Structure formats: structure tokens, C-alpha cells
Structure 1
Amino acid sequence: MKTIDDFVTLVRDEIGLPVTAEHLDTAFDGVPDWDSLHLLRLVAVLERETGRTLSFPDVLEATDLNSLYRLAVAG
């Protein structure tokens, strides 16, 4: 996962959500078909893809997909 477009593709393919780049700054409750289990699944996928452990308190502070992307690629 090198770009934000890779991230969107990952969310669509691995999590199965019909998201586009337009959904990145939408609050989680506005993302189509979003529920809290998607957050857990997405964190697991991001950790697998990046080889990094994400701070769970930081994950819980994320308000949208873009926040999660920035957290996953920060380093």
C-alpha cells in the first residue's frame, strides 16, 4: 500500500465496502455499509499490509478512513 488509491482499493477488496476516494473524509457513520466490525477488520488488514502495529488508542480516535490511512502510513 503505497498511495491513497491503494488504500481505497484495499478497503474495497479486503473489507468489501463500496468506497471511493470521495468517502475518505466522510465520518465513519456516513460510509456506505460501515459498522464497528469493519474498523477491527481494517486495522488487522492494515497491520498485515504495513508490517506495523497500529496503536489502538490512536485507531479509536480516528474519525474517518483518511485518519486511518494517515495512521497506517505514518512512521
Structure 2
Amino acid sequence: MHTVVDLITLANEYLGTDLEPADAERDLAELACWDSVYLLRLVTLLERELGRSVPVTDMLEARTLGDIWTAAVGP
């Protein structure tokens, strides 16, 4: 995974979401298909994909998919 678009593709493929690249900077509360369960499932997917732990506290504070990506892979 190299970009936030890869994160979106991962979510669409494994979580069944219908996210678009343009959704990367939209507030998660604005995404009709998004809820906290998706976030927890995404944390698990990211840890598997990246082969390491991700900072769950930072994930919980994320307001956008871009924020989630930054928290997972660093700035």
C-alpha cells in the first residue's frame, strides 16, 4: 500500500464499502457507508496488510480516511 487510494481500495474490497478517491478528505461522519465497526475492521486489515501494529488511538481520533492513512503509515 502506497497511497490513501490503496486504503480506499482495501476498504472497498474487504469491507464492502463503496468509497471513491474523492472521499479521502471528507469527514467520516459524512460518509453514508461508514461507522465505527468499519474503522475497527479497517485497523485489523491495515495491521495485516502492513505487517505491524497501527496506533489505534490515532485511528480513533482520525476525522478522514486521509487521517487514517497518515496514522497508519506516518507522515
Task: Report the number of matched residues.
Answer: 75
SS at match of 1:33: coil
Q: Deviation string for 1:28-63 (max 9, x for gaps)?
A: 111131111000000100011001211221111111
Letter in 2 for 1:58: D
In 1, the alpha carbon distance for the partners of 2:32 and 2:26 equals 10
TM-score, normalised with respect to structure 1: 0.88
8 Å CA contact 1:5–1:21 kept in 2: the answer is yes
Residue range with higher mean Cα deviation, 17-26 or 3-12: 3-12
8 Å CA contact 1:18–1:32 kept in 2: the answer is no
Show the counterpart of 2:63: 63
In 1, the alpha carbon distance for the partners of 2:24 and 2:5 equals 10
Q: CA RMSD, aligned part only?
A: 1.4
Letter in 2 for 1:59: M
Structure 1: give runs of 5+ residues left out of the alignment: none
Percent identity for Structure 1 against Structure 2: 36
Structure 2: give runs of 5+ residues left out of the alignment: none
Show the counterpart of 2:35: 35
TM-fit CA distance, 1:8: 1.7
TM-score, normalised with respect to structure 2: 0.88
Show the counterpart of 1:53: 53
In 2, the alpha carbon distance for the partners of 1:24 and 1:55 equals 19
Moved beyond 6 Å, runs of 4+:
none
